[in-house]
Amino acid sequence: MKDIALLFFFCFCLVLVSLLREANAVSQEKNDGVYIVYMGAADSNHQAELMSSLIRRKKDAVVHSYSNGFSGFAARLSEAEAKAIAQRPGVVSVFPDPILQLHTTRSWDFLQYQTDVVINAGSISGSDNSSAKGADTIIGILDTGIWPESESFNDNDMSEVPSRWKGTCMESHDSSSFKCNKKLVGARFYDGSGDRSIRPFSTARDQNGHGTHVASTAAGNPISGASYYGLASGTAKGGSPGSRIAMYRVCMSDGCRGSAIMKAFDDAIADGVDVLSLSLGSSSGLEPAFSSDPIAIGAFHAVEKGILVACSAGNDGPDAGSVVNVAPWILTVAATTIDRDFETDIVLGGNKSIKGGGISFSNLTNSPVYPLISGDLAKSGDDDLSEKNARSCNPDSLDGKKVKGKIVLCDNHDGEYSLSMKVEEVRSKGGIGFIVVDDNARTVAPKFKSFPAAVVTEKDSNEILSYINSTKNPVASVLPTVSITKYKPAPVVAYFSSRGPAYNTHNLLKPDITAPGVAILAAWPANDTREAVAGQEPPLFNIISGTSMSCPHVSGIAAIVKAQNPSWSPSAIKSAIMTTAIQTNNLKAPITTVSGSVATPYDIGAGEASPSAALNPGLVYETNTADYLEFLCSVGYNKSKIKLISNTVPDDFSCPTDSSSESVSQMNYPSIAVSNTKENEITKVTRTVTNVGQEDATYTASIKAPAGLEVQVIPIKLVFTNNSKKLSYEVSFKASSKPKEDLFGSITWTNGKYKVQSPFVVTTNLESV
């Protein structure tokens, strides 16, 4: 993920470098930058006093105020003012307003096909069961806005908006055209900014496309005949088409401001959403502590109010420890492929065919009649550096006389220049076609539009180079892209999907789950000429990739589960999705990464989300607020600070005397992570499960453990009755020797009908590393 421009080109929503305001403390003091004053559950009097004193000194100081789900405000402050306010009673933290970034049809059919247990699941299985369709659940989406005219958001045949909905459709500069309806029940926008040079949008209308794509993936109506210029044709549909959508536009041209994200959380809690979906976040390694993380703060209070929050895991993979949005109250979503490939064939002389990838509407003939050259043979200079740059088709590296009228083969391993810049180098020098060598890009279908182009793997490029070197006049052609379905293997972990372990939290297994996030077709703004193919109208549906796309898949599943089980807590819904996940691909083999290695829970969490099975999980792990409060203890917060954060803290609450990162392992979470494992030392954790299936049922545990790790479950059987719906068990881990690497396994409870699986990881003794 080092080449940011490349990722933007073919994964529109992939994350950019996070611009945290801590790096600009000096400019903030000079320019009255925006700070967030977080006051947790403090009473409104403290908040009002602080805001009033600021407004008296500076009329436009306050940018946003928070009063529904939590207390606080965002204001233009000097550094000195921020430090002074941080010492005031009732203030949890004061921190510079961060700028976060976006983590940017067939996928739902593929998820259903992969599901082991077929249960009536509405839109996913074809049932008319309204609860399974997510009817009347409300999915709140924090993103770039929405295109309300898209057919994905029409309200044909929808019932009246539930009376519990308290939100609004904000008036904007285009109110005459922007209309909410019974599908799109609410739309808010947040233009407050510390940078007054940024022009306010003053509308919830999507100027980017990302929010529209996300919203339709989560809850769009079924639209037949959808495609991207004929590719991926079929019925585009959201996971929960019966759900309502509430859009909260928190992103502007400079990114997604933390102060706006917190205001959106605050509003959404009061509006009455059931699920919140955020396909945005910080960059790997830069995720702040809870007290200065807008997403973690907002999500904590939303979950306290019974709202499930799903967030993208980030696009900084495949590096280990790159996952973000890791707070335990967040459902963190990684990304995988589906069984569809966009194949762009390359025909060489002698009619040898190479199966490339990417999306190109090539107008070249099917016959290989166009001269073919590798970049290094078309160098413009004579030294070694010139040859190296030309091999990669970097800017100003090619000789136009050697390239004109030819198809050029280029490497893409240096990461110094974007794919779009390399295409432009070939095009500007008169080249008529482009073949790029990139194993990762081959998996995500970069778009080249009308320019004849394809992506090939390193292995296939060797065959092309061998052909070039074996003949005096090599020729080739690049054919138009075609969609291939039932592609195998699938799913495969997307190379860009961020990986565990959780940054600075070694006893919490993240990500939680994975879902389709590669080359996903979904609704798009109808006026986006940037995405239009030459000579064509802008597309109504677009194909993009990222954990931004996987997150709304899980949000849609969560809405379906919520509709069928309205009394379930967010943690019960999270558990249902995690413990019913799938770990195998369509070859009935373990899910793998792009490199072919077996995926671990650091790659996919509990596995690939299963829409049908999540409706009937059998047992659930309920993580309550007390678990989360003890988590805050373990990361350094004391009782007084925690009581400021949450108004649900019992009077007799106190942090455990042995509170540490190790105690996080005891949280009643659907997965298990233990660290600092020592040779022949036993580590024990306890879990409690609640029976939500058959009233009288006996579950038996089965253990999958790696060599060198002894795992024991006590008791091995759980007998549930009408009077015994919650039961606990203990798991002990003992390594026969100090692990040289992290050890993965699983514990599965079964009763013949349900299978409830929890992944675990036992990590190396960190103290001796």
Q: Which amino acid is at 314?
A: G
What are the C-alpha distances in Å from 144 to residues 243, 488, 514, 516?
Answer: 20, 34, 23, 21
- To which residue do tokens 């929050």 refer? 309
682-691 and 709-714 strand pairing: unpaired
Distance, in Å, from the CA atom of 16 to the CA atom of 506, rounded to the nearest integer, reads 26
Distance, in Å, from the CA atom of 437 to the CA atom of 429, rounded to the nearest integer, reads 19
For the chain, the distance separating the N- and C-terminal CA atoms, rounded to the nearest angstrom, is 27
Residue 350: which residues within 8 A CB-CB, separation 6 or more? 368, 467
Distance, in Å, from the CA atom of 739 to the CA atom of 763, rounded to the nearest integer, reads 7
User: Which structure tokens are listed for 592?
Assistant: 């793998």
What are the C-alpha distances in Å from 90 to residues 50, 395, 675?
Answer: 10, 56, 35
Options 548, 550, 646, 758, the catalytic residue: 548
Options 32, 97, 136, 210, the catalytic residue: 210
Beta carbons within 10 angstroms of residue 270's beta carbon? 13
Among 659, 664, 320, which Cα is nearest to 503's? Answer: 320
- Asked if 126 and 554 touch (Cβ cutoff 8 Å), the reply is no
Cα 275–Cα 188–Cα 134 angle in degrees, nearest 5: 30
Distance, in Å, from the CA atom of 494 to the CA atom of 517, rounded to the nearest integer, reads 8
* 143 noted as active-site residue: yes
Residue 111: which residues within 8 A CB-CB, separation 6 or more? 124, 515, 516, 553, 608, 609, 610, 611
Q: Where are any strands of DSSP class E within 611-671?
A: 619-620
Please name the helix (run of DSSP H) or strand (run of DSSP E) that holds residue 132, with its range, or none. none
- Asked if 642 and 609 touch (Cβ cutoff 8 Å), the reply is no
Please name the helix (run of DSSP H) or strand (run of DSSP E) that holds residue 417, with its range, or none. none
Please name the helix (run of DSSP H) or strand (run of DSSP E) that holds residue 108, with its range, or none. helix 106-114
- Asked if 65 and 47 touch (Cβ cutoff 8 Å), the reply is yes
What residues pair up with 616 in beta bridges, in sequence order?
A: none
Options 32, 97, 136, 143, the catalytic residue: 143
What are the C-alpha distances in Å from 3 to residues 14, 15, 91, 417?
Answer: 11, 11, 40, 7
Preceding amide of 670 cis, omega within 30? no
What residues pair up with 273 in beta bridges, in sequence order?
A: none
Distance, in Å, from the CA atom of 220 to the CA atom of 523, rounded to the nearest integer, reads 8
Under DSSP, the state recorded for 393 is T
> HEC profile for 12-70?
CCCCCCCECHHHHHHHHHHHCCEEEEECCCCCHHHHHHHHHHHHHHCCCCEEEEECCCC
* 548 noted as active-site residue: yes
* 210 noted as active-site residue: yes
Distance, in Å, from the CA atom of 91 to the CA atom of 669, rounded to the nearest integer, reads 30
Preceding amide of 570 cis, omega within 30? no
User: Which structure tokens are listed for 639?
Assistant: 């009782």
User: Which structure tokens are listed for 699?
Assistant: 């579950």
Q: Tell me phi and psi for residue 159, to 5 degrees.
A: -75, 175
What are the b/e assignments for 31-69, b being 16+ CB within 10 Å?
A: ebbbbbbbbbbbeeebbeebbeebeeeeeebbbbbbebb
Residue 606: which residues within 8 A CB-CB, separation 6 or more? 512, 513, 578, 579, 581, 670, 671, 757, 758, 759
**HSE-CB of 181 using CA atoms within 13 angstroms:** 18
What are the C-alpha distances in Å from 208 to residues 295, 398, 659?
Answer: 21, 34, 45
- Tell me which residues are annotated as active site: 143, 210, 548
